[in-house]
Homo-oligomer: A and B are copies of this chain.
Amino acid sequence: MKLYTYFRSSAAYRVRIALNLKGLAYEAVPVHLLRGGGEQRQQPYRDINPAALVPALQVDGVTLTQSLAIIEYLDETHPFMPLLPQDAAGRARVRALALTIAADTHPLTNLRVLQHLTGPMGLSEESKMDWYRHWLRDGLAVLETHLARDGETGRFCHGDTPTLADCCLVPQVFNAQRFAVDLAPYPTIERIHAACAGIPAFQAAHPSAQPDAE
């Protein structure tokens, strides 16, 4: 199993957590998102993932892209340590929490968007960071509201074992900390993040623990 990854990529970080939670060994192939204009935009990676985004996972003779699709695949093919609940309503809730980050928050604040704001759009660094923090806070606030009010929230986002939602929450909190976004308004997120941070599978997936960490 070969994971194309970048130490600081949120989406790759999600998949690393899932692989580690399931105890699946993989070969990490670093794709440097900044060097030489971004290795993800060039061959050979562009053929592996035409979206020029990490991660991609080569497994069972196929190349998978999109972190959530990859994690669902791993969950279906390796049922040990399930990352989705057994009931349809629970699965819908976990997927919705995951998408609150992976669709409504992270795509607005990832590297290519930030580069587009200061490049073709001609915005200042300050405007770029305003944009970044605006959407990050917006996403965290929605997530906090769900987690704080829903009876299904437990030690983790859904019950007392980690799910796909926690695989998404932790990298998003890492980003918030990296850019000094105050997490005090999101106490449930902070509590769940702390619970995850105590687990070796999450620790081994942290950007600082990756072979390509800088």
Copies of this protein chain in the complex: 2
Which stretch, A21-29, A102-110, A179-187, A193-201, touches the partner chain B?
Answer: A102-110
Q: CB-nearest residue of chain B relative to A84?
A: B72
Interface residues on A, range: 35 or more
What's the dominant secondary structure at chain A's contact region?
Answer: helix
In the complex, whether A134 has a CB less than 8 A from a CB of chain B is: yes
- The answer, among B60, B99, B108, B123, for a CB contact under 8 Å with A69, is B99
A–B pairs, 29, beta carbons within 8 Å = A51-B100, A51-B142, A60-B89, A62-B89, A64-B89, A64-B92, A64-B93, A66-B99, A68-B95, A69-B91, A69-B92, A69-B95, A69-B96, A72-B91, A73-B91, A73-B92, A76-B88, A76-B91, A99-B102, A99-B103, A102-B103, A104-B107, A107-B107, A107-B108, A108-B108, A116-B134, A120-B134, A121-B127, A121-B131
